[in-house]
Structure 1
Amino acid sequence: MNTLRTLLLIVALGLLAACSNEPPNPNPRAAVPLQPAPVDLPRYMGRWYIVALIPYFAEKDMVGSYAQWTLRDDGKIDDQYFGRRKTFDSALKHYRFTDTPVPGTGNGEWRVRVIWPITVTQLTVYVDPDYRYTLIGYPGKTLGWVFSRDPHMDDATYRSLLARFDAMGYDTSRFRRVPQTPDEIGKPGFETIGH
């Protein structure tokens, strides 16, 4: 049943990206293609908290979410997603994916296999020199994520990372922060949690 659910999730994600009902991106750089940033894979591995994202159905109403990336001996990456639906008291959801860095991209572009043979493209568009923050983009700029090694991010750092997305042509008004603690649920600028 999980395999079927995952397959439906990926198909729907593809349809969402292709047929978005969102208004056109007003950013004057919207048509400029995203470029992957070079990544030192061993340094990039580990836990990354999802601080903010452009909301979409698969991660809707998730709180306390994070990714765990592990480099395999074959050069691929075990990609695990963890999060709780609506409240921090709900059961921890867990999904597994396999990622493959694309040769010639400096390890900044990954093909994410959700279920064979379906893959999606994920681009690392920025990682800070200390590997504390990273920005993940999606071709077409319909999806984007702000990741951090720490679940808490100050407003100045968050704004500076959104400014990077803006410079790449994203409509940054669409980003919402992901509650990483119970007191963040319902705060302005955070994703609205349904009831």
Structure 2
Amino acid sequence: MFLRTQHFRLVVLGILSTVLLGACSTMESTTENKEPLHTVTHVDIPKFMGDWYVIANIPTFVEEGATNAIESYSWNEKEQRIDVDFRYNKLTPEGELKKYPQKAWIYDKKTNAEWRVQPWWPLKFAYLVIDLAPDYSYTVIGVPSRKYVWIMARNSTLDKAVYQQILARLENLGYDISKIQKVPQVWFKK
């Protein structure tokens, strides 16, 4: 009986591993006939830490209906990683607060612009800083497949001309900008 149970567990684990690896490879692979995404030349990690308002994105299933989305980064010296706190209100500014803590590791230590982000164990996804304002007022994060993208800013609004320039650059990189959705940022003074 014990051997049957162990065998069953191994079969289930094998199936789950295959499904997860398939999902990861689909998400990580580059789009056919497109050059790989390139990151910015350098990210100053201490300067990058802090709050970033999600201005627009091609949302993952977790982010559907997000309002007031904020991604916060803090350097975890002990673990030599970045702790990520992603939070938003569901559907409306008064909606249920959703929180998704994550972990990130710097993958390319020469540029600090390519990370591996772990939303849930054992999954880790490539996280590429593909655009960054010289003053760190906005950033754009992409994934190799171009299936997702996040336009973020230090403030809850982004100048319309700057936003349009970002969209033009994303289109030149092979993103389908028709899939990019604005994330409502509606903050009330208390």
TM over 0.5: yes
SS at match of 2:37: coil
Q: Which has the higher helix share?
A: 2
Deviating runs (4+, > 4 A) in structure 1? none
- TM normalised by structure 1 equals 0.76
- TM normalised by structure 2 equals 0.78
When residues 126 and 105 of structure 1 are mapped into structure 2, their CA distance, relative to the original with a 3 A threshold, is farther
Matched, 1:161 2:166: yes
Give the one of 109, 121, 146 matched to 2:114. 109
Number of residue pairs aligned between Structure 1 and Structure 2: 164
Matched, 1:150 2:164: no
One-letter amino acid matched to 1:144: V
Unaligned runs of 5+ in 2: 1-18
One-letter amino acid matched to 2:52: W
Q: Give the CA RMSD over aligned residues.
A: 2.5
SS at match of 1:77: strand
Give the one of 11, 14, 18 matched to 2:26. 18
SS at match of 1:90: coil
Larger Rg: 2
Question: What does 1:81-160 align with in structure 2 at a 5 Å threshold?
Answer: 81-160=86-165
Identity %: 33
| Deviation of the 1:157 alpha carbon | 1.4
When residues 58 and 64 of structure 1 are mapped into structure 2, their CA distance, relative to the original with a 3 A threshold, is same
One-letter amino acid matched to 2:38: Q
What whole-Å deviation, never above 9, does each CA across 1:74-98 have from its counterpart, x for those lacking one? 4310001010110111121111001
| Deviation of the 1:155 alpha carbon | 1.6
What whole-Å deviation, never above 9, does each CA across 1:98-143 have from its counterpart, x for those lacking one? 1000134511111011233221111000111000000000111010
One-letter amino acid matched to 1:164: R
| Deviation of the 1:58 alpha carbon | 1.2
Give the one of 34, 43, 60 matched to 1:31. 34
One-letter amino acid matched to 2:60: Y
Please give the alpha-carbon distance, in whole angstroms, between the structure 2 residues aligned to 1:152 and 1:126.
Answer: 17
One-letter amino acid matched to 2:179: R
Unaligned runs of 5+ in 1: 1-10, 20-24, 183-195
